[in-house]
Structure formats: C-alpha cells, structure tokens
Structure 1
Amino acid sequence: MSGGGLPLAGRGRADAGGTASAGGGEVRKTVLPGGLRVVTETVPTVRSATLGIWAHVGSRDETPALGGATHYLEHLLFKGTRRRSALDISAALDAVGGEMNAFTAKEFTCYYARVLDSDLPLAIDVLGDMLTGSVLDAAEVEAERGVILEEIAMTEDDPGDCVHDLFARALMGDSPLGRPVLGTVETVNGFTRDRLARFYRKHYDAPHLVVAAAGNLDHDTVVRQVREAFDKAGALERTEGRDPVAPRTGARPLRARGRVEIADRSTEQAHLVLGMPGYSRNDDRRWALGVLSAALGGGMSSRLFQEIREKRGLAYSTYSYTSGFADCGLFGVYAGCRPGQLSDVLKICRDELDHAARHGLPDDELRRAVGQLSGATVLGLEDTGALMHRLGKSELCWGEQLSVDEMLAKISAVTPDDVREAARDVLGRRPSLAVIGPLTDRQTTELHEAVA
C-alpha cells in the first residue's frame, strides 16, 4: 500500500491509506501515540458499520497452568467496567438494535459490534470502555466460571466440533497450539481473579490492540472517537511513545507425528479428521495449498465430496481445510459417517491424499479449484462484518493489507506445478488422525494401522 492518511492535530501518525478494496471504498490506517492502530474501510453504499477491537493474544500465549485464560477474559470483559455494569453494556447495544460478541482463537482475540452507521460512536465508546476499563469483579469471575464450564461441556457434547480439538492434540501434542482454546475443567477451576487480572494488564494495553471498522464511516472521525474512548481510561497516555506490537514471526515446522487420538463415545455418527503439517500463514506456498484443498474437498465437485458422498453415500458432510499460524500450519480432512462405515471412509481419504501426493491432480480440476477459491474469496467479503474481520486480522497478523485484486492475483498465479509440489510435500508426510465415536476393538486397531 502507498499514500497516507492525515494525522489528527499531531495526535497520531498515519502509516497507510488510499487503497481501494473489496467494499469499493478506501482503506486507511492511523497509529495513535500510545501504539494503538486504527484501520478502516469506507463503504458508502451501506447504512451499517462493523467495529472490531483485536487483541494480540490467543491461547498459544498461555502456559499449561493458564490454559483457557484468554477465553476466560473474553467473557469477563463483558461483565462490567468502572463506567458501566454488565447490564449497561448489553443494554446500550440492544437499545439501538446492534449486535455484539467476541471470539478467542489460537493467536488473537476479537471483540466486535455491528450497528447502524449513526450508532458507530456508541459502539466505539462501549467496546473501548470494555477493553480498557474492565474491573474483573471477583464475584463475576466466580459466576462466569460456571458459564465457561458449561461451554466446555457443550463443546464436548458436539463431536463434530470437538474432533478438531482432538486432531490438534494428535498433530501438535501438548503444546500451546495443541491445547484447546477453552482450557480444561482443571485449569478453569484453578483461575483466581488476581491471576486473570495480571494476564489482562499484560496483554490488553494499546500496543497489543488493533481497532478495525468497515462500513459507512469517515476515517478521521473514527480515529478521533477511538482516541477519545481510550483517553477516558488513560490507555494511550500509559503507553505513549511505544510502538505497536509486531506481528508474530518465526519458523517452527511441525514434525509429522503419525499419532492417533480416539475418544470412544456413544454417538450416532463417527467423526474423523485426518491430516498432516501444512504451511504457515507467512509461507507463499500457502496459496498453492489453498488451491489443492479446494480441489480435494472445497466444494460439491471436489474429489472427496464426489467419492465419499455422491458416489458411495457414506457421509453427509466431508471437506478439507487448511490453517496457518505464524510459524507452522496444518492440512486436514473431515468426515462424519455411520460408525460401521468408518474404515471405508478413512480408506477413501487415505487413497485420495496418497494419489494426489504421488500423481498430482489434473489441470482441469486445478483450474476449477482456482475459480472456486477466487469466487469464495470475493463472495466472503460482501458484508461489513467480513470486511472488518479481514482488516483486523491482516493488520494483526501481517502488518499490512492485501487488496482483493492482490489476493486474486496470488491465487491466479498458482500453477499446476505449484499445486503438485505442495501435494508431494504436504500430503506425502505421515498423517495424524483423530476419531470420535463408538468403536470396536477391531476398529481401533485398524485406525492405528491406517496411519502407521
């Protein structure tokens, strides 16, 4: 990106601006004196705006004893500040028909609100207050503990969701990336108010935060309102002169572990994820791996969908996916099927991955995958929430914004040879496997043999 937005009366410095993007508007960025980044995309054709405040902290920043602390804080920041009670926070957005929520991931946390464009100042004030002025009341810490334990139980009751946590453990072991974002019953029960408060103070200062907004807005106005919201708590003054926290870097290739994790449960379906190490989000080969994933399991014409569902009727849902972290990544294949069909489904998955690793895929399938991935990229950015998500994640993870045209160019530049090389490299690695379902001893033995 090039060009620049204008600083506000010397109170901020502008790093980038003037770039057209998916919404047809302009992306601009300003860095305030305390290291707080504000990135916006103007979409003048809508009457809404979505605001997100992104924190540079996720579950991978936790020690084993702190497992789930980031997610616990995500809950607690809705429970009251020095200026607002928990009811005041929720009522403020409800009163204008707004939507507010948050999510915790492995490497970041996001708090967001979607409102009418005229109510964006309210959303900025409320979310800014939550991020800078939460009191973490001891009574609320205790009350929310029960809520989080119920959330863990709910996840355990959803095997289609839980199997992905099990796969992360199979592939990445007892590492921060291999442990569940929610933590465990033991870690959640061990948290005290003081321990969570220390974690909050360490990770929620201005240099760790990015404010992203998309919709019918004016960048300079948003920057002024964000500065005012954070100044109320003295958040910028405390960190004045500091630079924003840099994106995560490093290279920690995952070892192909070949592990099998099985949870024997009385479910109607068996759920499996088969996969292996992939590429980090900073590796240019991730574009080729994305095309490969689209061809193998990205749509109704993909190999896995055709072989498993259309031709044999063995599963309702099957797909492949990639996840990229700062220093490593993964590729996975999911399927849910009747327990008695588990071995057949797993064999098809293994055969398709092995075939792609050895022989590649035909050019026509790869061209279709490029088109499918390109279309999904554009269609996925058709609302202000998606645009905000792209702005915030891009700034936090890469420190820059790729325009949609630049992303499409990256996808279109992928050649069949690039995809075949990615297939040989990634799919040729020893896979790991996670399975949840009612399994016989024979099936358990077969699962271990399948990845041996």
Structure 2
Amino acid sequence: FFYFNLLTLAALHRHLATRAAGQVILNVPETKVTALENGLRVASEDSGLSTCTVGLWIDAGSRYENERNNGTAHFLEHMAFKGTRKRSQLDLELEIENMGAHLNAYTSREQTVYYAKAFSKDLPRAVEILADIIQNSTLGEAEIERERGVILREMQEVETNLQEVVFDYLHATAYQATALGRTILGPTENIKTINRADLVEYITTHYKGPRIVLAAAGGVSHDELIDLAKYHFGKLPTRYKGEAPALPLCSFTGSEIRVRDDKMPLAHIAIAVEAVGWSHPDTIPLMVANTLIGNWDRSFGGGVNLSSKLAQMACQGNLCHSFQSFNTCYTDTGLWGLYMVCEPGTVRDMMHFTQMEWMSLCTSVTESEVARAKNLLKTNMLLHLDGSTPICEDIGRQMLCYSRRIPLHELEARIDAIDATTIKDVCTKYIYDKAPAIAAVGPIEQLPDYNRIRSGMFWMRT
C-alpha cells in the first residue's frame, strides 16, 4: 500500500510539473507586431529587463548580388559605422561607448543585420543611431579605400579557417553558377573595384520599408518602439521605380569539390543533400533528424555513452577528431549534412559509417530515439533563447522567414507531432538515393569515389 501511494504521488508530481512547464511556455512574453504605412514591420518582446537589444533585419544579402557586384552587401556592412552626415566615425564610437552600449552588424547570404545592445532607457538613442547609419552614411571615398584593405585582410583570415573554407566550397558546388554558390565576402577582384556608386545602388535597390524589420527584445515598450519607428523610418521608400528584385532561383547540383593537400595533417570534409526552406513543412522533421545524428568532439567526456550512434562509432573506432551535423535553411532550399575532421587513414571508414547512419534514418530509426531527439531539440531551442540579443535575433529572422514569430508552444506542438514514421518518410524523400554535394580539403586520397551513373546517394565503387 505504501509503495502504491509513493507511485501515485510520483505520478501526481510529474503531472503537475508537466502542466507547470506548459504554463511557463504559454506565459512567455508576447511578441507584438505592427506594420507601418511604408511596409516596415515593428516586432518586439517586452521581458522587463533593464537592458534591451534592438536591430534592423533587412531582407537583402549576397544572394541578391551578381558576379560583378558580389561582396557589396558585406562591404556596405563595413561602411555603416564609418560616419554619417550627422556623426563622424569618432563621434559614433564615442557616443556608443559613453552609453555603455554595443553596436554590431553581420551579413549572411539572405539577410543583412544591424543591431545595438543598450540600457532600456537608451532605446530611443539606439534606434536613432541605427536609423542614422542606414539612411545617412556618407560612404566617403577615403573610408571606402581604407575598408578595402580591412576586407582583404579579413578574407585572408577566413582562408585560415578551414571550416568556413569547406562550407564556401560546399555552397559553390551545391549551387553551381547561382547566387547561393557565391561567397558572402566576394572575390578579391570585386573588393578591389567596388565603388561608392555600387554601394548607393545596393541601398536604393534593397533598403525598402517592406523588406525591413525593426526588432527589439528585453526592456522595451512596443508602443514607444512604434513611435520611434514612425519618426525615424517613416520616410523610408516603400515602392520601387521598376519591378521589385525577384529572389534569384538557385538549383541544387549533386557534385564534388576536392582540394587535395597531403601536407595537411587532417582532412576537412562536408557532405550534404538538398533540403528545404524555412517555411516548408518538412523543416521540423529534418531538424529532428539532424539532432539524431548529433555532433561529437574528442574533447567530449562521454563518447561511447552519447545517444548518437555515429558518436559512439566515432569514439570507439577513433574515426575522426570531430563531426557536426547541420541543417542550413534558406528561403526556398537548404543543405542537410555533416561536417567532419578526420585523419587521412580514417576518411573511408568515417564516410562509410556516416552513410550507414543516414540510411538508418530512412529505414530503422526507433520511437525511443526520435523521442530523445525531440526533447534534445526543444531543450537546445530554449537554451538558445537566453538573453535579449538571441531573442531579438530570433524575432527578426522569423519575421523575415515566416512573416510572424512562431510561438514556443506552437513550435513544441509541431515537434511533438513527429514520430519515427515521419522521420523515415521525410529522410527517404531527401536522403535515400540522392546524389550529395561534397567539399573536401586536405589529405583526402582515401575519400571514396561515388558512382554517379545511378544518381544514387553513396553507391560506393568496390
């Protein structure tokens, strides 16, 4: 009887804990969204903090460039902090430092972002500075020439980061002769020739109200943010002189880039199949499948005890130094795959076990494995939203990708709806019998040669 009561009490506690967790997710601050007359959207989440993050998420990145001006979006990001008609570069840096704030920016293949982290009381000044740098940058010739050298040095630094090099190669071979195949920084010859007219043309072409989101998180009042947006961004143009720039189509090609260098100690390899865009219904199942493969590094304490079967094999067989699965999404396409760092003699075995695990997703994944991956995915998503900056980033990105912020309880429900059958069906659709894109750098003599005649995924020549 006593044992039965203990079981009943434990079950009751689990029920209450589950209900409380659900209430916590439902009670997170609401994301409020308002559209201005010129199409610019204002989105914010007020969590009552003493600090805030506010930024501009712009639907424009290197994908909207062509071969001649590739690198312009990134060049423009560099020029944003080099002075405006109102502030010199020194004035801007002193004002930010005196506020105790941080100002930053980054460019991706589909988005350009400018954001500031500051005290909540300084929200008006932060918004005014952001408005000033994207609408009134002087783009002086001297500053442009100086930034050329900075970007060229940045390119040299990127070339020493083999992971970035391999992923650029992967995009180049997966999206051959399309906009997604080009790098964000652009080729050296473009950096040497981009001029002020190119920068102005990019701003006037892409920095329009409907393609911009003003996002904020932390201690922010949505009504105050709307008033600030109307005052500082109300004059942003909403219409194009001609037709609006269309999203360039980017088709996937199963192909390879191999850069063999036997003097390097390790082989760096990325392999991917074509996945889907942000808003596709198969995105969530592919995220769960990505979590099932997982990641591993030799520095991890537990290798053989990790849930990922590939991690167990890599640890027991000493197959690689590290690996990480990835699911890179764009508007209408994506790359789902694995990046690995191996010693020359283990490349073939690591590729063999990778293909085995990918095939197991299509044929034999179990409900318990999927349940564990779903819990891990939900945990990782919640841990990522730790602080005003990642929350603000999540708001801005989701507004551009989905035109709304997906509530956490909806996202959790969509993850919970996935089972082993869903994983098998979706992975069969995108992985099984599909020709992958492969990028490899280093001592890759043992990288298997794949038979493309059948357009099959991983049909190894024996």
Short-chain TM bin = 0.7 to 0.9
1:140 matched to 2:146? The reply is: no
Q: Does 1:303 align with 2:309?
A: yes
Whole-Å Cα distance in 2 between the matches of residues 247 and 398 of structure 1? Answer: 19
1:174 and 2:177 matched: yes
Does the 8 A contact of 2:209 with 2:238 survive in 1? Answer: no
Match of 1:430 among 428, 435, 449: 435
Q: Which residue of 2 aligns with 1:3?
A: none
Aligned partner of 1:211 among 214, 222, 243: 214
Q: 1:66 to 1:336 in 2, by over 3 A?
A: same
Match of 1:198 in 2: 201
1:354 and 2:352 are equivalent in the alignment: no
Output the amino acid matched with 2:175: M
Residue deviations 1:75-95 (CA, integer Å, cap 9, x gap): 111111111111222222222
Counterparts of 1:150-161 in structure 2, within 5 Å, are 150-161=153-164
1:193 is displaced (CA, Å) by: 1.5
Q: Secondary structure at 1:281's aligned position in 2?
A: coil
Q: 2:277 aligns with which of 276, 280, 302?
A: 280
Task: Name structure 2 gaps, 5 residues minimum.
Answer: 1-23, 297-305, 452-457
Moved more, 331-340 or 138-147: 331-340
Report what 1:165 is aligned to: 168
- The corresponding residue for 1:98 is 101
Aligned to 1:316: 321
TM-score normalised over the length of structure 2: 0.85
Q: Aligned equivalents of 1:21 and 1:227: distance in 2?
A: 32
Structure 1 residues 279, 248: CA separation in 2 closer, same or farther (over 3 Å shift)?
farther
* Map of 1:396 onto structure 2: 400
Cα distance between partner residues in 1 of 2:172 and 2:99: 42
1:128 aligns with 2:124: no
2:337 equivalent to 1:339: no
Aligned pair 1:26/2:24, yes or no?
no
- CA separation of 1:254/1:351 partners in 2, compared to 1, >3 Å: closer, same or farther? farther
1:29 is displaced (CA, Å) by: 1.5
Q: Residues 424, 415 of structure 1: CA spacing in aligned structure 2 closer, same or farther, 3 A cutoff? A: same
Q: Is the 8 A contact 1:106 1:177 kept in 2?
A: yes
Q: 1:113 aligns with which of 116, 130, 134?
A: 116
Matched, 1:293 2:290: yes
1:167-204 Cα offsets, whole Å, 9 max, x none, are 11121112111111111112211212212211122112
TM-score (norm 1): 0.86
Percentage of identical aligned residues: 29
CA distance in 1: counterparts of 2:236 and 2:328, whole angstroms: 36
In structure 2, the CA distance between the partners of 1:95 and 1:423, relative to structure 1 (3 Å rule), is: same
- How far apart, CA to CA, are the structure 1 residues paired with 2:38 and 2:440? 47
Deviations 1:284-342 (A, max 9, x none): 0111111111001257422322221x222333321111112111111010111223322
Match of 1:177, SS state, is helix
Find the aligned partners of 1:329 and 1:348 in 2 and give their Cα distance. Answer: 23
**1:121 counterpart SS class:** helix
CA drift at 1:23 = 8.3
For the Cα contact (< 8 Å) 1:152–1:184, is it kept in 2?
no
Q: Is the 8 A contact 2:34 2:41 kept in 1?
A: yes
Are positions 1:259 and 2:259 aligned together? no
Q: Distance in 2 between the 1:102 and 1:238 partners?
A: 20
Out of 407, 412, 425, the position equivalent to 1:408 is: 412
Is 1:382 the counterpart of 2:380? The answer is no
Matched, 1:60 2:58: no
Q: Amino acid of the residue matched to residue 264 of structure 1? A: D
The answer (yes or no) to whether the contact 1:304–1:318 under 8 Å persists in 2 is no
Provide the C-alpha distance between the structure 1 equivalents of 2:79 and 2:27, rounded to a whole number of angstroms: 33
Question: Which stretch has the larger CA shift, 154-163 or 313-322?
Answer: 313-322
Distance 1:298 1:21, change over 3 A: same
Matched residue, 2:74: 71
Partner of 2:377: 373
Q: Contact conserved, 1:100 with 1:112, CA < 8 A, in 2? A: yes
Kindly report the root-mean-square deviation, in angstroms, between the aligned alpha carbons of the 2 structures. 2.5
CA contact (8 A) 2:173 2:253 kept: no
Instruction: Answer yes or no: is the 8 Å Cα contact 2:175–2:253 preserved in 1.
Output: no
8 Å contact from structure 2 (residues 52, 220) kept in 1: yes
Secondary structure at 1:64's aligned position in 2? coil
Larger Rg, first or second structure (1 or 2):
2
User: For residues 308 and 348 of structure 2, what CA distance do their matches in structure 1 show?
Assistant: 21
- Cα offset, 1:211, TM superposition: 0.5
Equivalent-residue separation in structure 1 for 2:388 and 2:263 (angstroms): 41
Distance 1:98 1:447 in 2: 53
Per-residue Cα deviation, 1:387-419 (whole angstroms, up to 9, x for no partner): 101111111121112101111111111121110
Task: Tell me what 1:11 maps to.
Answer: none
**Counterpart for residue 266 of structure 2:** 269
For the residue of structure 2 that corresponds to 1:351, the secondary structure is helix
Contact 1:265–1:437 (CA<8 Å) still a contact in 2? yes
In structure 1, the residue corresponding to 2:60 is in which secondary structure? coil
2: distance between equivalents of 1:22 and 1:339? 50
Whole-Å Cα distance in 2 between the matches of residues 288 and 229 of structure 1?
A: 41
In 2, Cα distance between equivalents of 1:195 and 1:352 = 47
Aligned pair in 2 of structure 1 residues 65, 290: CA closer, same or farther (>3 Å)?
same
Aligned to 2:192: 189
SS at match of 1:335: strand
Q: Is the 8 A contact 2:286 2:423 kept in 1?
A: yes
SS at match of 2:336: strand
